[in-house]
Amino acid sequence: MNYDVKDIGLSAKGKKRIEWAELDMPVLRQVKENFAKKKPLKGVKIAACLHVTTETANLAVTLKEGGADVTLCASNPLSTQDDVAASLVKDYKIPVYAIKGEDNRTYYKHIYATLAAKPNITMDDGADLVSVIHTERKDLIKNIIGSTEETTTGVIRLKSMAAGKLLQFPVIAVNDASTKHFFDNRYGTGQSTLDGILRATNRLLAGSNFVVCGYGWCGKGVTMRARGMGANVIVTEIDPLKALEAVMDGFRVMPIADAAKIGDFFCTVTGNLNVIRKEHFQKMRDGAIVCNSGHFNVELDLVGLKAASKGVKEARDFVEEYELKNGNKVCVLGEGRLINLASAEGHPASVMDMSFANQALGADFLVKKGSTLSNNVYTVPDEIDKEIARLKLAALGIKIDILTKEQKKYLASWEMGT
């Protein structure tokens, strides 16, 4: 078996951590049990480009239990957990191509190695596999039933390909399932982003001005948790509705040009590029801490920051201190890559449980129904989404009410008014 991991000797630690995550992934465990009995993915080759974490390991093992041949590479150069990569290879016999801190060339070399398996299904977190297939490996398209996509940024890229009639196979937008983005994007990003910032800096949040750029589901999560730690949270937005929502959720809203002057912490979660630019860095307080928790490392204009700086030094792991020409220092965390995975461990297993149950059942759906779909971006079928919510509630031991006959009839009628 070919693979490329940092150190296969790390596998024992990785295995323990994979098993620990599984304890908090009851929905995925049930999917795995069903897959083990029915083998719905028998003989299907799956190439996955995901953050190589303990939670992803449990997804990969679930797909393998379902009968799939799985190959995995990283969806970000800084998010790989090397012990997990080692254990997947050694203990679970799943080929992995991922090394934390790999350079861009190695990142793409790993993508090519994963695609060499000639997949029938691709699983992306950011659409890099689909993008490489459509540009450099068009020969693979004929083998592909479809793809699944984990994240908002990837879904945006894929919808743009579909709108331009370029997409050559169907894609299931796992991100758009309610059991994904309501939980993973909000509570997952909220907790893991704060975790990443704190592990990298060990700074006090209480009483600080914490600027969050973007008030989508991820931004909502980050603001909520920063407020919980006692920060004064400021939101920047370009969408009037989201800005209004942030105002009525009790946050100060202002342009980044104003927020730049008063923030102690800055975190971008917009999915767009150059959100914090040179002119903003130049206005920041001495010692400001800046990071990104959006998918790609494009949200901070680090080229502009470098141009405004006299020098840069590593202040501690995951912290680069830029000394500006105006004498102030700006600290950038995790090279502007998603901080929750760079300096922490990503979202906790309990939310990834639902995201990855969607991934596994999405793959199952593609095998069963892929040939009936056109080359477009689809949401996860509602029955699957609802079933995942039901299973999660059951696992949490929470019961809910059911409609009475009378209530059902009332909801289906229009006659009864005041």
Stretch that binds ligand ADE, among 46-54, 133-141, 247-255, 312-320 (CB under 6 A): 46-54
> 126 vs 370, which CB is nearer to ligand ADE?
126
Under rule CB under 6 A, which residues in 344-373 are in contact with ligand ADE?
346-347, 352
Give the tokens for residue 165. Answer: 């009639």
Q: Which of residues 195-234 bind ligand ADE (CB under 6 A)?
A: none
Q: What are phi and psi of 277, to 5 degrees?
A: -115, 175
218 or 300, CB closer to ligand ADE? Answer: 218
Q: Is 191 in the site for ligand ADE (CB under 6 A)?
A: no
* Cβ closest to ligand ADE, residue 271 vs residue 346: 346
The least CB distance from residue 351 to ligand ADE, in Å, is 8
Which residue lies nearer to ligand ADE by CB, 29 or 347? 347
Cα dihedral value 155, 157, 158, 164, nearest 10:
140
The site string for ligand ADE over 325-344 (x = CB under 6 A, - otherwise) reads: ----------------x---
Q: Is the dihedral of CA 88, 93, 95, 99 positive or negative?
A: positive
Distance of alpha carbon 199 from alpha carbon 334, whole angstroms: 11
Is 51 one of the binding residues for ligand ADE (CB under 6 A)? yes
Q: Which range touches ligand ADE (CB under 6 A), out of 48-56, 108-116, 195-203, 279-287?
A: 48-56
Residues whose CB falls within 8 Å of the CB of residue 387, separated by 6 or more in sequence, listed in order: none
Nearest to 63 by CA among 357, 392, 353, 352: 357
| Cα-Cα-Cα-Cα dihedral sign, residues 153, 156, 160, 165 | positive
Using rule CB under 6 A, residue 32 touches ligand ADE: no
The tally of CA atoms less than 13 A away on the side-chain side of residue 284 is 32
Q: Give the nearest distance from C-beta 360 to ligand ADE in angstroms.
A: 13
**Binding flags for ligand ADE, 244-263, as an x/- string (CB under 6 A):** --------------------
Selected from 11, 53, 292, 328, the binder of ligand ADE by CB under 6 A is 53
How far CA 384 is from CA of 47, 60, 363, 390, in Å, comes to 22, 19, 12, 10
Smallest gap from Cβ 352 to ligand ADE, in A, equals 5
Give min distance, CB of 186 to ligand ADE, in A.
12
What is d(CA 175, CA 153) in angstroms, rounded to the nearest whole number?
A: 9
Number of residues that bind ligand ADE (CB under 6 A): 11
Residue 311 burial class via C-beta count within 10 angstroms: exposed 0-12, middle 13-18, buried 19 and up:
exposed
Helix locations, 308-404, DSSP H: 339-342, 349-369, 382-395
**CB 90 to ligand ADE: min, Å:** 20
Helices 349-369 and 382-395, axial angle in degrees (round to 10): 150
Which one, 256 or 267, has the nearer CB to ligand ADE? Answer: 267
Q: Which is nearer to ligand ADE, 263 or 346 (CB)?
A: 346
The contact set with ligand ADE (CB under 6 A) reads 50-51, 53, 55-56, 188, 192, 341, 346-347, 352
